[in-house]
Amino acid sequence: MAPAAWGQKLLYGSWQGSVDQSTATLTIITVDDDGLVHGTLRYDPPRSDGFAGSPFTTKIENGAFAIRFVNGTRLVDMHWCRDDLCGTFYTPDNTATPVDFTRAAR
């Protein structure tokens, strides 16, 4: 397996972080050799707009990926920060907040 593909496989599993007033659980289900990422994001409790999460498909480009959701929120520039995934969370009005996801406890 090519080094980039091997690194992408390390994304498998659940990651948790705080987004607004919720615990967000990002679960990576599959990552293929072309950089397509399939997973889910779940908020507990659901966001104030009632959005509780959604499945997603995105693509890793230049070492990072973005996830856009139907409620207008998005996670942008998700990339490795040592052992964590970090990036920026945007609300529908473009308010930006840094986010950090760590491996969820097993």
In a domain? residue 34: yes
Q: Which amino acid is at 60?
A: I
Q: pLDDT, tens digit, for every residue of 29-67? A: 988 878 889 999 999 999 988 999 999 999 999 989 999
What confidence category does residue 18 fall into, taking pLDDT thresholds of 50, 70 and 90?
very high
Q: How many domains does the chain have?
A: 1
Question: Which positions ≥6 away from 4 have C-beta within 8 Å?
Answer: none
CA distance 26 to 75: 11
CA distance 28 to 30: 6
CA distance 39 to 13: 9
In a domain? residue 105: no
Q: Are 17 and 99 in contact (CB under 8 A)?
A: yes
Q: pLDDT, tens digit, for every residue of 58-95? A: 999 998 999 999 999 999 999 988 889 999 999 999 99
Query: Which residue bears the tokens 């996801």?
Result: 101
In a domain? residue 19: yes
In a domain? residue 106: no
> What pTM does this model have?
0.85
What percent of the chain clears pLDDT 90, i.e. is strictly above it? 63
CA distance 68 to 42: 14
Residue 32's domain comprises 3-100
The residue that leads in pLDDT, 26 or 31, is 26
SS3 assignment, position 9: helix
